[in-house]
Every structure is written in C-alpha cells, then in structure tokens.
Structure 1
Amino acid sequence: MTTTIKHGNLSAEIKHFGAELISLKTNQNREYIWEGNPEFWGKHSPILFPIVGTLKNNSFNHYGIDYHLSRHGFAREMLFELIYATENSATFSIKSSEETLKVYPFEFELQLIYTLNDNNLSIEYKVINKGKLTMPFSIGAHPAFALLNHFENYAIAFEKEESLEYYLLENDLISNKTKKLEVRNKQIPLTYDLFKNDALIFKTLQSNTLTILENENPILRVHFEDFPNLGIWTKMNAPFLCIEPWFGYSDTNENSGNLFEKEGIQILESNATFHSKFSIEIL
C-alpha cells in the first residue's frame, strides 16, 4: 500500500512498509528516486532506526542481557500506520511492540512526516520516548537518487570549503583508517572507484547542503542542517547515488557493547521528543 502527495510540479509516493519514499517526480515524469532494481540494491530510501550502520557482533548489552540488532535496525522492515494526511503531506507512525522489545528494550513511537512545498520535499523524524527510562538511539536517512546518465557525468558540490576526510569500513565497522578526498571548487567528480571500499563516512562536515550536478548543471540539493554525520554511497556500476544524513554510525572494534557509550548515539529522556528534518530540493 502506498500514499501519494502532491504540490505544484512535484509528487511523492511513500510505501507504508517502512514508510519508505519510493518516488519523487515532476509533472514531466522526471524521476529522482532510485527504482529499487534488486540487481543492484532493492531499496529506495529506507529509514535507519534505532541504529545506523552495524553493531559489533550485531549485538549490544543492556542490564546484563544481550540483544541482537541487525544492520540499520528494524524500522525499515516494519509496516507503518498512516496517521495523518493532506494533499501535500503524510505522517506515518510505528510504536514499540512485543517483537521490537525482544531486540531493543525501549518503548518508543517513531513518526515520519513527509511534506511537499514548491520544489522541496521535507522529511521530518520524530522520536518519542514512551518509557520511564532514558533511551539510546540513532536515526538516519538513506535516499538513493536516480542517475539517468553515465556515472562519470555527475559530481557532488559542497556548500562550503571542505577539507574532506572519511572513515573506512572494515567488516561493516568503522575503522581508525581514514582517507582524504581532493576537493576542487567545492566539488568532487563521481567515479565508482571512490566507493570501492564501500561508503564514504564523514563524522563532521562544514557544509549543511550537498548538490548533485549533472553535466555541471545542478539538478538536486539535499539540505541536512540538523544532522551531524553523513554517508555517501553507491554500488559498483549502479545508476544511483545515496546521500545519507545521520545521527550516528557503525560501531568500532573497540566498542564496549553498551549503547549508552556508543559514539554518535542520541540519548532521549523519558517522555521527551526528538525532532530532526532534512529536505530534498529539485532544482
């Protein structure tokens, strides 16, 4: 089941399973979201919650009990309820359940709010701690943008001057190895060789927006003012690029297994609400 919202020249389609954005297109049928061809990657724009990336041994310990939590968490594999909709907005929700408590012993509600305005789709995350104790979590976006031309015809433009250093993954965990990216005129030309070691993971950036250039022309901009971390990823020879604003990232090999001590983790007090928002602007 899906819900479609519209405003002006744009429409967006959201699948209720995972509350996943599966289409963002213009009235001229220019599609900006990856089609989800499983030959490369069968997702479109999954929500990452209550972790981003991978835990060491895919587990954590809470009050002496080990819990198994798979990569990127479980929200992307859950059926969301549509709780509010207008012509240009839709709000989806999941809540903790007997099944989620088996792998993540915290009571929560997660809402995703999609809103179209002018040439912009905003995606707001609302995390509510429904329990009596503090709750550790990470949350992140994973939108894949369709690239209609050859991959090398594209570039990423950063909002500000950057000295770019990204962290390398080893067995899906953050290593202590880093690489530097050469940035010219605030831009990085795209090549598949950039991603031969998996995603580019940035713990810090000066920029709050990234722009995708197609043959030097800006076509799409991702605004992520609220998010401290970022991943950029594609698969070899795949015609898409993921720009992923995050709160948090994978464990390191030195991680203690205590979520409260995890680097990049968010801590939410009882009955408190966490808000964050990013947006996709069509240029």
Structure 2
Amino acid sequence: MTTTISNSYLTAQIKHIGAELCSLKDNSNKEYIWNGNPAFWGKHSPVLFPIVGTLKDNSYQYNNIQYQMSRHGFAREMEFELIDRQENSATYSLVVSPKTKEKYPFDFDLHLVYTLENKSLKIEYKVFNNGETKMPFSIGAHPAFDLPGNFENYSLAFEKEEPLKYYILEDGLISNTTNELTLDKNELHLNYELFANDALVFKNIASKSITILEKSKPFLKVSYSDFPDLGIWTPTNAPFICIEPWFGYSDTIDKFGNLFEKEGIQILEANAAFHSVFSIEIL
C-alpha cells in the first residue's frame, strides 16, 4: 500500500512498508527516486533504525542478553501505520511490539513525517523513548536518486571546500584505514571506481548539503544540517546514487558488542524525544 501527497510543484509516494519514499516527481513527470529494480538494489529510500550499518556478527549485548539484528535494523522491513494525512503531508508511526522486542528491548515510537513545501520534500524523524531507562539508537536516511544515462556525466557539489576523509569498510565494518577524496574545487566527479570497496563513510562531515549535477547543471539538492555523519554509495553499473545522512554508522572492527558504547550511537533519556530533519529540493 502507498500514500500519495502533492502540491503545485511535486508529487511524492510513500510505501507503508518501511514508511519508504518510493517516488518523487515534478510537474513534467520527471522521476527523481530510483525505481527499486532488484537487479541492482531493490529499495528506494529506506529508513535505517535502530542501527545504521552493520553490527559485528550482526549481534549486540544488553543486560547480559545477546540480541541479533541485521544490517540497518528492522524498521525498513516493517509496516508503519499512517496516523495523519493532509494533501501535502503524511505521518507514519512504528511502535514497539513483541516482534521488535525480540531484536531491540526498548519501548520506542518512531514517526516519519513527509511534507512537500514548494519544490522541496521535508523528511522528519521523531524518536520517542517511552520507557523508564535510557535508550541507545542510530537513525539514518538512504535515498537513492535516479541517474539515467552515463554515470560519469554526473557530479556531487559539496557545500564546503574541505578535506573529505572517508573510512574504508572491511566486511561492512568501519576500519582504521582512511582515504581522502580529490575534489575539483568542491565538486566530486562520479565514477564507479569510487565505490569499489562499498560505501564512502564520512564522520562529522562539515558540508551540510550536497547538490547533484548533470553535465555541470545542478538539478537536486540534499540538505541535512541536523545530521553529523554521511554515507555515499552505489553498486557497480547501477544508474543511481545514494546520499545518506546518518546519526551513527557500522561497528568499528575493534569495538563492538555493547550498544551503549557503540561509536556514533545516540542515547535518548527516559520519556524523552529526538527530532531531526533533512530535505530534498528540486532545483
């Protein structure tokens, strides 16, 4: 099941499974979100919760109990409830259940709010800790943007000119090895070799927006001022790019097991709430 929202400029569709954005079109019917062809990657824009990335051995410990949780957590595979819908907005909720407690023993409520404002789609994450203990979590976005034609016609313009150090992944975990991107001023020219070793992972990145250009012409901007971390990814020969604002990332190769000590984790106090926003703007 999907819900459609629209305004004078844009139309968006969101699946109830995962509360996942699956389409964003302008008035000319141009599609900006990847179509989910499983030959490359069968997703569009999953929400990553309550972890981002991979846990060592897909497991962690809490109160002397070992829990299993697969890459990027469980929210992207679960059905959300549509709790509010306006012409230009939709709000979804995923609440704690016996099924979630098998993997994550915390009393949470996760809301995703999609709102169209002029030529932008604003996406809000709201996490509520309804329990009496502190709650560790990560949350992140994974939108895939359609890039038809020659992949090397495209580039990414970073908001700031900065040394772009990224962390090398080893079996999906953050290694101690880093590399640095070479930019043309603040622009990264895309090629598949950049992603030969999986995603590019940036911790505490200074740039808080990235613009996608085709043949030097900007057409889409992702802004994520709330988010400290970022992933950029595509599989080889796939006609899309993922720009992924994150709170947190995979386990590091030498520190894992205790979710409260996980690098990049957020700790939400009892009966407290977390809120963050990012946006996708059509230029």
Normalising TM by the smaller chain, what interval? over 0.9
What is the match of residue 271 of structure 2?
Answer: 271
Quick one: which amino acid aligns to residue 72 of structure 2? H
Q: Secondary structure at the match of 1:260?
A: helix
Report percent identity of matched pairs: 64
> The residue matched to 2:114 in structure 1 has which SS?
strand
Quote the Cα distance in structure 2 between the aligned partners of 1:18 and 1:69: 16
Matched, 1:125 2:128: no
The answer (yes or no) to whether the contact 1:135–1:267 under 8 Å persists in 2 is yes
Following superposition, the deviation at residue 36 of structure 1 comes to 0.3
Per-residue CA deviation, residues 25-79 of structure 1 (Å, 9 max, x unaligned), is 0121100000000000000000000000000111100010000011000000000
SS at match of 1:174: strand
> Is residue 51–residue 73 contact of structure 1 (8 Å, CA) maintained in 2?
yes
* 2:145 is the counterpart of 1:145: yes
Q: Could you state the TM-score of these two structures normalised by the residue count of structure 1?
A: 0.99
Alignment of 1:94-109 (within 5 A): 94-109=94-109
Number of residue pairs matched?
A: 283
Equivalence for 1:11: 11
Q: Is 1:75 paired with 2:83?
A: no
Unaligned runs of 5+ residues in structure 1 are none
Shift of 1:205: 1.5
Deviation at 1:255, TM superposition (A): 1.6
Which residue does the alignment assign to 1:21?
A: 21
CA distance in 1, matches of 2:216, 2:84: 39
Amino acid at match of 1:180: E
Deviations 1:219-265 (A, max 9, x none): 10000000000000000000000000000000012124111100000
The equivalent residue for 2:179 is 179
More off after superposition, 202-211 vs 78-87: 202-211
Whole-angstrom distance in 1 between the partners of 2:188 and 2:196:
16
**Per-residue deviation at 1:204?**
2.1
CA distance in 2 between partners of 1:20 and 1:202 (Å): 24
- Whether the aligned pair in 2 keeps the contact of 1:161 and 1:206 (CA below 8 Å) is no
AA aligned to 2:120 is: N
The CA distance in 2 between the partners of 1:206 and 1:17, in whole Å, is: 33
Alignment of 1:105-254 (within 5 A): 105-254=105-254
Do the aligned residues in 1 keep the contact of 2:55 with 2:256 (CA within 8 Å)?
no
Question: Secondary structure in 2 aligned to 1:152?
Answer: helix
Question: Is the Cα contact below 8 Å between 2:159 and 2:207 reproduced in 1?
Answer: yes
**Greater mean alpha carbon deviation, residues 220-229 or residues 256-265:** 256-265
1:84-142, CA deviations, whole angstroms, 9 ceiling, x for partnerless residues? 01000000001010011011010100000000010000000000001110000000000
**Aligned letter for 2:199?**
A
Structure 2 Cα separation of the partners of residues 256 and 8 of structure 1: 48
- Whichever residue aligns with residue 222 of structure 2, its letter is V
Spell out structure 1 runs of 4+ moving beyond 3 A.
none
| Other-structure match for 1:42 | 42
Normalised to the residue count of structure 2, the TM-score between the two structures is 0.99
Alpha-carbon separation, structure 2, partners of 1:127 and 1:215: 39
What root-mean-square deviation, in Å, do the aligned CA atoms of Structure 1 and Structure 2 show?
A: 0.6
Retained in 2: the 8 A contact 1:12–1:23? yes
1:200: Cα distance to partner?
0.3
Name the amino acid aligned to 2:136.
P
SS of equivalent residue, structure 1 residue 8: coil
Structure 2: state its 5+ residue gaps: none
